[in-house]
Chain A
Amino acid sequence: MFTKVLVANRGEIACRIIQSCQSLGIKAVAIYSEADRDARHTQLADEAYEVGPARVFESYLNVDKILAVAKEAKVNAIHPGYGFLSENSDFATRCHEEGIVFIGPAPETITIMGDKVSARNHMKKAGVPVIPGSIEPITSAEEAVSFAKEQGYPVMLKAAAGGGGIGMEKAENEEELKKAFQSNQRRAMNYFSSGSLYIEKALESPRHIEVQIIGDRRGNVIHLGERDCSIQRRHQKVIEEAPALDLSEDLLTRLRKAAIQAAKSLQYENAGTLEFLVEDGEFYFLEMNTRLQVEHPVTEAITGIDIVREQLNVAAGGPLGIGQSQVQLRGHAIETRIYAEDPNTFFPSPGTIDVFNIPEDEFIRLDTGVQNGTEVTPHYDPLLAKLIVNGKSREETMEKLQKTLALCDIQGLKTNIPFLRAVTDHSDYIAGKITINFVNDHF
Chain B
Amino acid sequence: MAKIEASMAGNLWKVLKQQGDTVEAGEEVAILESMKMEIPIEAETGGEIKAVMKAEGEFVDEGEALFEIE
Residues of A that sit less than 8 Å from B by CB? 54-55, 164, 166, 186-187, 190, 234, 340-341, 347-348, 350, 378-382
Chain B interface main SS type: strand
Given A190-B13, A190-B14: A380 and B36 within 8 A (CB)?
yes
Task: Knowing A347-B37, A348-B37, say if A378 contacts B8 (CB, 8 Å).
Answer: yes
The answer to whether A381 and B35 have CB atoms under 8 Å apart is yes
Residues in A with CB closer than 8 Å to B9 are: 350, 378
Measured in the bound complex, the distance between the Cα atoms of B35 and A381 in whole Å is 4
Whether A378 and B34, one on each chain, are in contact in the complex, defined by CB atoms closer than 8 angstroms, is yes
Encode B3-41 as 1/0 by CB contact (under 8 A) with A. 000001111011000000000000000010111111100
10 A-B contact pairs sorted by A residue (CB < 8 Å): A164-B36, A166-B36, A190-B14, A234-B37, A341-B35, A347-B8, A348-B35, A348-B37, A348-B39, A382-B36
Asked if residues B11 and A380 are in contact (CB atoms below 8 Å), the reply is no
Whether A382 and B35, one on each chain, are in contact in the complex, defined by CB atoms closer than 8 angstroms, is yes
A378 touches B38 (CB 8 A): no
- When C-beta atoms are compared, the residue in chain A nearest to B37 turns out to be A348
What chain A residues lie within 8 Å of B35 (beta carbons)?
340-341, 348, 350, 378-382
* A182 CB, nearest partner CB in chain B, Å: 12
Residues of chain B having any CB pair with chain A under 8 Å: 8-11, 13-14, 31, 33-39, 59
Q: Are A350 and B36 in contact (CB under 8 A)?
A: no
Identity of the chain B residue whose Cβ is nearest the Cβ of A190 in the assembled complex: B13
Chain B residues, Cβ within 8 Å of A190:
13-14, 31, 33, 38
Q: Closest A residue to B35 by CB, please name it.
A: A348
Point out the residues of chain A lying under 8 angstroms from B13, CB to CB: 190
Q: Which residues of B contact A54 (CB under 8 A)?
A: 59
Complex interface: chain B residues within 8 A of A382 (CB): 35-37
B14 near A350: Cβ-Cβ < 8 Å: no
Cβ distance B56 to chain A, nearest Cβ, rounded Å: 11
**Closest CB pairs A-B (n = 5):** A348-B35, A378-B34, A382-B35, A381-B36, A378-B9
| Contacting pair A347 B39 (CB below 8 A) | yes
Residues from chain A with a CB closer than 8 A to the CB of B11 are: 55, 378-379
Q: A190-B38, A382-B36 are in contact. List 18 more A-B contacts (CB 8 A).
A: A54-B59, A164-B36, A186-B14, A190-B14, A190-B33, A234-B37, A341-B35, A347-B8, A347-B37, A348-B35, A348-B37, A348-B39, A350-B9, A378-B11, A379-B11, A380-B36, A381-B36, A382-B35
Instruction: Give chain B residues whose Cβ lies under 8 Å from the Cβ of A381.
Output: 35-36
Residue contact B38 to A348, C-beta cutoff 8 Å: no
Q: Does A350 lie within 8 Å of B34, measured CB to CB?
A: yes
Given contacts A348-B35, A348-B37, contact A378 B14 (CB under 8 A): no
Please, which residues of chain B bring their CB within 8 A of the CB of A55?
Answer: 11, 59
Q: Give the chain B neighbours of A347 by CB distance below 8 A.
A: 8, 37, 39
A381 and B10 alpha carbons, distance in the complex (Å):
12
**Given the contacts A340-B35, A380-B35, A382-B36, A348 and B8 also touching, CB distance less than 8 Å:** yes
| Smallest CB separation, B61 vs chain A (Å) | 9
Q: How far is the CB of A294 from chain B (nearest CB, A)?
A: 13
The answer for the CA separation of A190 and B59 in the assembled complex, in Å, is 16
CA of A187 to CA of B11, assembled, Å = 15
Report the nearest A residue to B9, measured CB to CB.
A378
In the complex, chain A residues whose CB is within 8 Å of the CB of B8: 347-348, 350, 378
Chain B residue nearest to A164 in the complex (CB): B36
Contacts of A348 in B (CB 8 A): 8, 10, 34-35, 37, 39
A268 to B33 CA separation, bound complex (whole angstroms): 35
Contacts of A378 in B (CB 8 A): 8-11, 34-35
Q: A348 to B38: give the CA distance in the assembly, Å.
A: 10
Give complex CA distance A166, B35 in Å: 13
Which residue of A187, A340, A341 is within 8 Å of B38 (Cβ)? A187
Q: Give the residues in chain B near A234, CB-CB below 8 Å.
A: 37
A350 and B6 CA atoms in complex are apart in Å by 14
Give the chain B neighbours of A186 by CB distance below 8 A: 14
Give bound CA distance, A164 to B36, whole Å.
9
Bound-state CA distance A164–B10 (Å) is 19
Q: Which of A234, A340, A348, A378 counts the most B-chain CB atoms under 10 A from its CB?
A: A378
Residues of A within 8 Å of B31, CB to CB, are 190
- Nearest CB in chain A: distance from B10 CB, A: 5
Closest A residue to B57 by beta carbon equals: A55
Across-interface contacts of B37 in A (CB, < 8 A): 234, 347-348, 382
Complex interface: chain B residues within 8 A of A164 (CB): 36
Docked pose: A382 CA to B33 CA in angstroms? 12
Query: A232–B9 Cα gap in the complex (Å)?
Result: 25
Report the minimum CB–CB distance from A29 to chain B (whole Å): 25
User: Using Cβ atoms and an 8 Å threshold, which residues of chain B touch A340?
Assistant: 35
